[in-house]
Amino acid sequence: MNGGSSTDPVASHGTANGRPTASRRRVLVATSLAALVAAGALVAFVLPAEYGIDPLGTGAALGLTALSEPGLDALDAAPGAYTAETVTFELQPFESVEYKYRLETGAALVFSWQATGEVVAELHAEPDGAPEGFAESFDRTRAAESHGSYRASFPGWHGWFWENRGIDAVTVSLESAGFFTAARTYRGGHVWEEDRGAVQPWATPSAPPR
């Protein structure tokens, strides 16, 4: 019993005379603006990028509609077994070696080779059915290393020729991974061919003298 009038908690926190207070109006306005912004972003950006729906034209202008197209270049599935290996060759002065993989059309290969000294190196390939001794060259250099990826444009034997033109012995180490099924070593007038279809990345393949 205070003798004063009681205070309506609802009126003091949310309404005044049945109308929203200023603080509550600000909350309602902010919520409405956030909803409008979200709807605008959905129409202008999300729909073109995710579904190819572009009612405002912003997707075409910003290149977003391309994101909704199937990623034909993002994934390139390859048949056959994946293989990885490391091989090493010791080259005496003016000695050379060739090492090639059996690749079908479109088969990919990632490689990294390093030498303890400068060598003459050539990346080339022998197409199936080509005359004996014919090879298509893709890169020729004098260097101590090279790294990259390679995709076969035709079926055949694809790989490297290394030659030591120096006066000291050189070691060449090749790390490769891809979808090759066999490997050939050309050295000293002899050719060794080894199956790679079942070799796992952690296995050490048998190899000719290196």
Task: Write the pLDDT tens digit of every residue in 91-114.
Answer: 999 999 999 999 999 899 999 999
Q: Is the pTM of this model over 0.85?
A: no
| Domain co-membership, 59 together with 100 | no
Mean pLDDT of 164-190: 94
| Number of other CB atoms surrounding residue 172 within 10 Å | 25
Q: CA 63, CA 81: separation in Å to the nearest integer?
A: 37
For the ranges 27-36, 61-70, 147-156, which has the lowest average pLDDT?
Answer: 61-70
User: What pLDDT is recorded for position 10?
Assistant: 44
Confidence band (pLDDT; 50, 70, 90) for 202? Answer: very low
Range of the domain at 120: 83-195
Percentage of the chain beyond pLDDT 70 is 61
| Domain co-membership, 95 together with 189 | yes
Of the candidates 102, 115, 114, 120, which has an alpha carbon nearest to the alpha carbon of residue 161? 120
* Residue 148 domain-assigned (yes or no): yes
Of the candidates 159, 145, 151, which has an alpha carbon nearest to the alpha carbon of residue 192? 159
| Domain co-membership, 187 together with 120 | yes
* Residue 210 domain-assigned (yes or no): no
User: What pLDDT is recorded for position 149?
Assistant: 93
Q: Which two tokens stand for residue 10?
A: 């609802």
Q: Residue 152's domain is classified under what CATH number?
A: 2.60.120.510
Tally of domains in the chain: 2
The CA-CA-CA angle for residues 133, 139, 140, to 5°, reads 80
